[in-house]
Chains A and B, each alone.
Chain A
Amino acid sequence: MKHTPLYAAHRALGARLVEFAGWEMPVQYRGILDEHNAVRTRAGLFDVSHMGEIELRGAGALAACQMATANDVGRLADGRAQYSLLLEPSGGIVDDVIVHRIHAERLMICVNASNRDKDFAYLGEHARGADVVDVSDETALLALQGPRATQILHRLTDAPLGSLPRFAFVDGVVAGRRALIAHTGYTGEDGWELYCAAGDAVTLWDALLSAGAGDGLIPAGLGARDTLRLEAALPLYGHELGADTTPFEARLGWVVRLDKGDFVGRAALREAKAHGLRRCLVGIETTAAGIPRADYALLRDGARVGHVTSGTKSPTLGKGIGLGYVDPAVSGIGTPLAVEIRGRAVDATVVRVPFYRSQALATA
């Protein structure tokens, strides 16, 4: 299994380590609920260095990126990022990514750890005209997330954090080391993602934990990362997204800019849009005791109408929540459904998402 530069640090902290996408990663330190709660009320620090970073470089980089991604990079100024998708020609989803426009001849795409090699091959094939460079091995990624994240980061950098809106980033210095400081995150809270050289990861990690100790900053693992993103109704590749899902089904129609010019998957999506949805992603909450889990059937009047893609007991809300695909006919907010849990139908309702909305993030 692969290790990030912080492996020794995780072991020293007593992390429970698990295999994820070929990497040995911390699922928790002191406990998922503690870590989840820390991110919601104070701050948490995640090592997500297993994720991939692939750059598109050269005079043809911008045009190549436009062809290979569904969102419109033409709308990005230097120092701005956007959520985007890599699509199959059939319109299915290859990966969900964040594209960072460093400048017109250099874009950095952050990709899921589980899709790194696939995405590299995909970009090699579809991002024609750009030099495609996989910089994942040289790059570490730390995510500092929570309402106190900004004040903690302020102590370690002179970068103008206050003037960086969400999805803006800057090339700066944190704890004396060079880092791409991005106002992004996957937790539904305000926070920052710091891309640094692999060799600087330990320095940054230690400096952040130290600087944030007084604010109650604690390390947080992949377990909390999942419960946090689920409360925020953020999709996870392999659950809500896959080669057999289209962006419209996944509530990601807003990411797809059909009018920006040609891109891989455009023709298929235009057709799909004309035909309407065969299923759609909804949020559900159980109204009786029981926790929705991935692959559990969703029922309406005893008949199967879909399935759960991700589920948990929401630490913040104290109830069972989940995302799942259902027949569009039963996707309206307030529709009563049931989750099949161990052979029993447990009452649930289609609810508005996100399940949780951060005040601090709304004003970030």
Chain B
Amino acid sequence: MEFPDDLKYSREHEWVLVEGNVATVGITAFAEEQLGDVVFVELPAVGDKVTKDEAMGVVESVKAVSDVYAPISGTVLEVNDDLPENTELVNEDPYGDGWMVKIELSDVTDLEELMNAADYEAFVQEQQE
């Protein structure tokens, strides 16, 4: 399982790629593996405000409905328009083409609460015990 070094991670299994004041967010390989085949994705709209640790979207697998949480607060700049028609991208490339939203950070200190790759990997090991 992959834990890319250049990303930060939330306890709800979202990843964050930080570029200046913009955060790209998706769900991690652990999350997609737990979900199984993703069949439906509901994303916020461009311009929506999202709040750290609150649900901002939904990802559905064949059997279950799961919330996607905002790992940081801000305003939605862009959403992955390819995703609703190609939900398998979340399973096939969770850190790449399976990206979900780009958010303009409203508070850069939100990032400090996220984990680095090593800590997230340890966190995942704990979940599996």
A313 adjacent to B36 (CB under 8 Å): no
1/0 per residue A19-36: CB within 8 Å of B? Answer: 000000001100111000
Interface residues of A in 321-342 (CB under 8 A from B): 342
In angstroms, how far is the closest chain B Cβ from the Cβ of A228?
11
B36 adjacent to A291 (CB under 8 Å): no
Q: A289-B84, A342-B58 are in contact. Are A313 and B40 (CB under 8 A)?
A: yes
Nearest residue (CB) in A for B62 is A32
A interface secondary structure, majority: mixed
Q: How big is the A interface, by class?
A: 10 to 19
A313 adjacent to B84 (CB under 8 Å): no
* CA A234 to CA B62, docked complex, whole Å: 18
A226 within 8 A of B: yes
A116 within 8 A of B: no
* CA A290 to CA B62, docked complex, whole Å: 12
- Residues from chain A with a CB closer than 8 A to the CB of B42 are 342
A223 adjacent to B60 (CB under 8 Å): no
A33 adjacent to B37 (CB under 8 Å): yes
* CA A27 to CA B84, docked complex, whole Å: 25
B63 adjacent to A32 (CB under 8 Å): yes
In angstroms, how far is the closest chain A Cβ from the Cβ of B111?
29
Q: A289-B84, A342-B58 are in contact. Are A226 and B63 (CB under 8 A)?
A: yes
* CA A28 to CA B40, docked complex, whole Å: 19
* CA A226 to CA B40, docked complex, whole Å: 18
A227 within 8 A of B: yes
A16 within 8 A of B: yes
- Residues from chain A with a CB closer than 8 A to the CB of B40 are 289-291, 313
In angstroms, how far is the closest chain B Cβ from the Cβ of A74?
41
- Residues from chain B with a CB closer than 8 A to the CB of A32 are 36-37, 62-63
B36 adjacent to A28 (CB under 8 Å): yes
B39 within 8 A of A: yes
Query: Within the complex, which residue of A289, A312, A342 is in contact with B62, where a contact is CB–CB below 8 Å?
Result: A312
Query: Within the complex, which residue of A31, A289, A342 is in contact with B37, where a contact is CB–CB below 8 Å?
Result: A31
Q: List 29 A-B contacts (CB under 8 A).
A: A16-B36, A27-B63, A28-B36, A31-B36, A31-B37, A32-B36, A32-B37, A32-B62, A32-B63, A33-B37, A223-B36, A223-B62, A226-B63, A227-B62, A289-B84, A290-B40, A291-B39, A291-B40, A291-B60, A291-B65, A293-B65, A312-B39, A312-B62, A312-B63, A313-B39, A313-B40, A313-B60, A342-B42, A342-B58
Closest 4 A-B residue pairs measured CB to CB? A313-B39, A33-B37, A32-B62, A31-B37
